[in-house]
Amino acid sequence: MMFWYDHDVSGWGWFAMTASIILFWALIITAAVFLFRALDRPHEHTHAPVAPTP
């Protein structure tokens, strides 16, 4: 019964947990947005063949 009276998360623990969850979801949403933009982008081939100069 080593931690009988002091087994709760402290204020800094709650802060770290909340910050890590927010950071986790921000990274997930950012990755989803980048993936959606990459898949939604039309494939444009703008490289026109260059005629050789004489």
CA gap 18, 13 in Å, rounded? 8
Helix or strand (DSSP H, E) at 28:
helix 11-40
- Whole-model pTM: value is 0.57
CA gap 20, 14 in Å, rounded? 10
> Which pLDDT value is given to residue 29?
98
Q: For 1-54, how does the pLDDT look when each residue is reduced to its tens digit (9 = 90+)?
A: 455 666 667 778 888 899 999 999 999 999 999 999 988 877 666 666 666 776
